[in-house]
Amino acid sequence: MSQLRDRSKPHAQSGFTLIELLVVIAIIAILAAILFPVFAQAREKARAISCLSSVKQIGMALMLYQTDAEGGVMRVSIADGGVTHYWWGAWDGLSLNVPGGLLYPYTKSEGIQQDPSFDNSLRSSLGFTGYGYNYVYLSPSSWGGPPDYIETPIPVTESQIGQPARTVAFATSA
């Protein structure tokens, strides 16, 4: 009979007191404050790795383009009727056609032209990118001519690049 409960004593309440609950919430808040910056750094590192992978794929596509162009370096844009072809897509003045881009046949991807760290809200009509092409050096309109020379139809060739190993073709840009 010792296991029977004495009904004359009030039984103890089970659960947390307010103080205990506040202590647990404070501990969780401290842990969250410590861990959120770590998660943010991990997310930024993942974006950087994704960016590096995309730039590598774009660079490989550029090399394949140059092979098909018999050593000619890609122009910054090529006008074809009412359509202007850029490396990331073709623009007809109203809409962007990503598969019409100069490098698209070599990548077959619509995702690599977009830098994950770049806010693309300002470029929605002309195409999401975030990578810049070094067209000033690789595709100038007056390459090889005097300063008053307007444009040459002959593209720059790989042999005309002074230090190819030190020349940046694509980079993250805003």
pLDDT per position as a tens digit, 91-102: 888 888 888 888
Helix-, strand-, coil-residue percentages of the chain, each rounded to 5: 40, 10, 50
pLDDT at 147: 43
pLDDT digit string, tens, across residues 11-63? 556 677 888 889 999 999 999 888 888 888 888 888 888 888 888 898 899 88
DSSP structural state of residue 98: G
Six-digit token string for 29: 């808040």
Percentage of the chain modeled with pLDDT above 90: 8
Instruction: Provide the strand spans (E) within 28-136.
Output: 78-80, 83-85, 90-91, 96-97, 131-133
Q: What is the pTM of this model?
A: 0.68
Mean per-residue pLDDT of the chain: 78
Calpha distance 170→167 (Å, rounded): 9
Percentage of the chain modeled with pLDDT above 70: 76
pLDDT at 168: 86
Calpha distance 60→42 (Å, rounded): 27
pLDDT at 107: 87
pLDDT at 150: 45
Q: Which amino acid is at 9?
A: K
How many helices, marked H, and strands, marked E, lie in the chain? 3, 6
Six-digit token string for 117: 């760290």
Determine which helix (DSSP H) or strand (DSSP E) holds 170, and give its type and residue range.
strand 170-172
pLDDT digit string, tens, across residues 75-134? 888 888 888 888 888 888 888 888 888 889 998 887 777 777 776 665 556 666 778 888
